[in-house]
Amino acid sequence: WCPNAIFAAVGSSIGQMAPTPSSAPRHRRLYCLAVALTSGLLSSSLGGMCWSGSDGMAARRLAVVTGANKGIGFQVAKQLQESGLRVVVACRNRALGEQAALTLGCECEILDLASEDSIEAFASTLESKYGQLDVLVNNAAIAFKAADPTPFCDQTVPTLAINFYATMRLTDRLLPLLRASAGAGRQP
């Protein structure tokens, strides 16, 4: 697994806008990405969201935003949609995901990072239903509330299981689609 997968998946357009060398700490690269997405710079830096397929037809690039039913994920999905990408919101709660998709005018697929079966089903759906993936925004995460009485040592295992390991498994599973898109010349 490449620790730069999230940044690399978004591509060179943002890298040119907010340059961060690969030697920069990972959190700095991801912070630049988050700033680019949430500050509205995305729409001005990602012009020309279509590419011409082998049949000469224009096709929209596909972005997946995990945890996009509220908060930052919702706003990222909104900006990507407004920038001309076809967006799939990936949420564990079907009702909230479908409501977000309806509001945004995009599509919803169910993804629960706590379940290996859900990760596999989600990836299989992307392969069979969409056949491509150009942008992956790993936003889904869990967090304990500050007032939660659970001891910190008992919070770390479930937090790391979802926020790191499950996200890594999802990214690993989707890398073939991302690489295929890049190989076809579809750079976001």
User: 101-107 long-range contacts, Cβ below 8 Å, gap at least 24?
Assistant: 104/74, 104/77, 104/78, 105/81, 106/77, 106/81
pLDDT at position 47 over 80: no
Is the pLDDT at 76 greater than 90? The verdict is: yes
Integer angstrom CA distances of residue 68 from 46, 96, 114: 20, 9, 16
Q: Is the pTM of this model over 0.75?
A: no
- Confidence at 188, pLDDT banded by 50, 70, 90: low
Vertex 144 angle, CA 163 and 170, to 5°: 15
What pLDDT score was predicted for residue 59? 64
Tens-place pLDDT, residues 122-167: 999 999 999 999 999 999 999 999 999 999 999 999 999 999 999 9
| 74 within 8 A of 68, measured Cβ to Cβ | yes
